[in-house]
Amino acid sequence: METPSAYHDPLDPTKLGNFTNRLNVPARDGLLGFLDASAGPIELVTQKERMHLAPGKETEVLVYRAERDGTVWFNPTLLVKTGDTFSASLNNGLDEETTIHWHGLHLDWRMDGHPLRAVRPGTSYRYAYPVANRGGTYWYHTHGHGNTARQVYMGLAGLFIVEDDDERRLNRALGVELGETDLPLVIQDKNFDEKGDLVYAPDEMAQSMGHTGNAILVNMTPNPYLEAQTRLYRLRLLNGSNARLYRLAFTKLDGGGLLPCRLIATDGSLLDRPRPVREIFLSPGERTDLLLDLRDFEVGEEIALKNLAFDPMHREHAMEEGLGHGSHASHGGVGRAEEMRQATRQLGDGEEFYVLRIRVKDRAAHGASVPEILSTVPPADTHGAAVRTMTLSAATEAGQTRWLINGLTYEPDKYPIVVQEGTTEAWEIRNENRSMPHPMHLHGFRFRVLERRNSPSQVAEKAVDEEGRTATDLGWKDTVLVWPGETVRTAIRFSHDFGGEQLYLFHCHILEHEDAGMMINYKVVDPAKCRA
Ligand code: C2O
Ligand code: CU
Ligand code: CU
């Protein structure tokens, strides 16, 4: 038997020396390649595909395949402009039901990939809608009923980049170009077997906490590195993991603290102005755009995008166990993560590891400056808003933890929440103390974060205003992380012109939680029609 010190796992992301795979940077075709969807309808076929993700191994993944004039894409990065009509047909080539959900997009519910609109094997569905959103980094993924976690994990997800005037102006000022110096970074964690295939076999623990993997992938490349120039980069980060929460920061490899960055966008838009940050929490489903300035670096220097250690705050058993892992976690996750790691050689929640290694390779003349004003983000208008409380809690049945929203588990044909079209509501998302962090996501509409109350110290120390908001809470959001004991107050304006009653979802974006029913239907009704 190998001793732990002799053991070498080539995918172990805690070892910098393992970061030897060239990052897949989206190009004009292939995996995550750019596909201009403003040029007319596209077709996406869900199918199995064998790919080289890790060197020397072939991995079977599920993909959305697109083809146009002989060019082939897998999980294309779709490019659209605000005001375009987007049109894509999904042809389901799998032997299971699936859908496409356009995460963050404001659209008619029939186009939203709702599990009620599942696409059966061998059939197709046409998604067509005007792109009403502001410019930003959105994404799409499967939303098959009770099967989202496995399907996303096996590969069914891609980016959806919306461009508008603000975006064009900014990228011109920054002198960055999509695919060159404006880089999407889709961060995911997965488990591989020796043959190179993906393993999705959550045990009871992973079912209730969410499935985390021991390998970290960026743009589907495990242990990636990137060769860079001495210039400014725009990085579009998406946490596309099933359940893993990241605390991300850039550091210089030869020591020194965290590098300063500028946060310019969150889920659904540019911020009004850049915010200086050194680290951010990024939960499943969330996006953040950062500017990384490498102009003062020397050729040969190296930088890493890292996950810093944090307290994962798994407090679901805190009450029952007393001195169980819940109370350990509250004294810092590092100890617990290290314990877990030693016991099972698992990459713990909240453990420190590398995500991407960056080598400065060339000098580049680059004189661009970062604009002081990026966009207009009007203050949230909560005048006359009705308050609705959404309580997140845990229930233990036969030793298994179930996650509930307002005490309920998802039922496809129940609509516990009915909102009036055209009104604004303030949703207070309250996470109980005996809980874990839940990234809560709203379909159909964007929202604003008004306030964070009762935040744990690792969150409170990142507050940028009196409301306790962090930089990643600013702007237009569709997913917000709510920590144990915290209350996050949001404002949502439910106006649309889709016609008819709308059925959407509000759910936890830990995909195992979503599949297990930590999800709730809500209906948007027209008050005039209700009276009739
Ligand atoms: Cu990205 Cu219903 O989720
Ligand atoms: Cu969504
Ligand atoms: Cu959850």
The pLDDT tens digits of the residues spanning 279-301 come to 999 999 999 999 999 999 999 99
- Residue 445 alpha carbon to ligand 2 centre in Å: 9
pLDDT tens per residue across span 326-379: 333 333 445 555 555 455 568 999 999 999 999 999 999 877 889 999 999 999
- Residue 461 alpha carbon to ligand 1 centre in Å: 29
Residue 325 has pLDDT above 50, yes or no: no
**Residue 15, C-beta contacts closer than 8 angstroms, at least 6 positions apart:** 354
Q: In angstroms, how far apart are the furthest CA atoms of the chain?
A: 75
Residue 257 has pLDDT above 60, yes or no: yes
pLDDT tens per residue across span 201-227: 999 889 999 999 999 999 999 999 999
With a pLDDT cut of 70, the percent of the chain lying above it is: 93
* pLDDT given at position 344: 55
| Atom number in ligand 1 closest to CA 285 | 1
336, containing H or E segment? helix 333-344
DSSP notation for 148-184: HHHHHHTT-EEEEEEE-HHHHHHHHHHT--BTTTEEE
| Residues paired with 79 in a beta bridge | 36, 161
User: Burial, 10: exposed, middle or buried (Cβ in 10 Å; 0-12, 13-18, 19+)?
Assistant: middle
- Residue 341 alpha carbon to ligand 2 centre in Å: 32
User: Can you list the positions of beta strands (E) in 32-175?
Assistant: 34-36, 42-51, 59-68, 71-74, 77-81, 85-92, 101-103, 124-130, 136-141, 157-163
Ligand nearest to the CA of 439: 3
- Residue 455 alpha carbon to ligand 3 centre in Å: 17
Q: Encoding tokens for residue 402?
A: 């179930």
Helix, coil or strand: residue 327 = helix
- Residue 401 alpha carbon to ligand 3 centre in Å: 11
Q: Which residue has the higher pLDDT, 344 or 114?
A: 114
In the chain, count H helices and then E strands. Answer: 9, 34
Residue 188 has pLDDT above 50, yes or no: yes
Residue 59 has pLDDT above 80, yes or no: yes
For residue 285 and ligand 1, the question of a CB distance below 6 A is answered with yes
Categorize the per-residue pLDDT at 117 as very low, low, confident or very high, splitting at 50, 70 and 90. very high
H helix intervals, 101-227:
148-153, 165-174, 204-209
Q: Which residue has the higher pLDDT, 338 or 426?
A: 426
Q: What is the mean pLDDT of residues 97-110?
A: 98
Amino acid (1-letter code) at residue 514: E
Q: What is the mean pLDDT of residues 258-262?
A: 97
Q: What is the mean pLDDT of residues 8-31?
A: 95
Categorize the per-residue pLDDT at 166 as very low, low, confident or very high, splitting at 50, 70 and 90. very high
* pLDDT given at position 335: 55
* pLDDT given at position 164: 98
Residue nearest to atom 3 of ligand 1 (CA): 103
Residue 1 has pLDDT above 50, yes or no: no
H helix intervals, 154-304:
165-174, 204-209
CA distances from 465 to 23, 225, 441, 478, 482 (A): 36, 36, 23, 20, 17
Counting Cα atoms < 13 Å in the Cβ hemisphere of 187 gives: 28
89 within 8 A of 124, measured Cβ to Cβ: yes
Residue 324 has pLDDT above 60, yes or no: no
> Mean pLDDT of all residues in the chain?
93
| Atom number in ligand 1 closest to CA 104 | 1
For residue 114 and ligand 1, the question of a CB distance below 6 A is answered with no
Cα-Cα-Cα-Cα dihedral of 389, 393, 397, 399, to 10°? Answer: 180
For residue 287 and ligand 1, the question of a CB distance below 6 A is answered with no
212 within 8 A of 191, measured Cβ to Cβ: no
- Residue 196 alpha carbon to ligand 2 centre in Å: 30
254 within 8 A of 301, measured Cβ to Cβ: yes
* pLDDT given at position 273: 98
* Chain position carrying tokens 């839940």: 438
Residue 144 has pLDDT above 80, yes or no: yes
Residue nearest to atom 1 of ligand 1 (CA): 103
* pLDDT given at position 322: 43
* pLDDT given at position 39: 87
Spatial separation of the C-alpha atoms in residues 436 and 22, rounded to whole Å: 35
* pLDDT given at position 339: 54
For residue 284 and ligand 1, the question of a CB distance below 6 A is answered with no
Ligand nearest to the CA of 240: 1
| Residues paired with 74 in a beta bridge | 31, 65
For residue 143 and ligand 1, the question of a CB distance below 6 A is answered with yes
